[in-house]
Amino acid sequence: MSRSSYYYRAAGESEANLEVMRLLDQQYTKTPYYGIRRMTVVLSAAGQRVNHKRVARLLRLMGLQALYPRPRLSVGGQGHKIYPYLLSGFRAERPNQVWSSDISVPQKAA
């Protein structure tokens, strides 16, 4: 192990970053649905000189993330009929025993 890595102490956040983090925490408490872009606008309006990359890094460091509806692709709708797969356990042993169709719209060639 090298001596430089053994004696290395990570530098903490600067006073300016701690102030920005305090303002981010206050704004997140009021509006948890604000994302990085809107947080940047709010901080700029409050007189802080920040860009979106700094805001993103500090929010990630603080463990804050905007609240919004996430996709729920695997959850079926309430009252939706679930159709059984009729070929489960079926073994096709000869040609033309099972047919299928594709109703998707073909893409135009570029």
7 pLDDT exceeds 90?
A: no
What SS3 state is found at 64? coil
Maximum distance among all alpha carbons in the chain?
76
- Per-residue confidence at 110, pLDDT binned at 50, 70, 90? low
**Residue 18 confidence (pLDDT):** 95
**Residue 85 confidence (pLDDT):** 86
The length of the chain is 110
Q: Whole-angstrom Cα distance, residue 59 to residue 61?
A: 5
Q: What are 52-108's pLDDT values in tens digits?
A: 999 999 999 999 999 998 888 888 888 888 888 888 888 999 999 988 887 777 777
**Out of 14-28, 43-57, 71-85, which region has the weakest mean confidence (pLDDT)?**
71-85
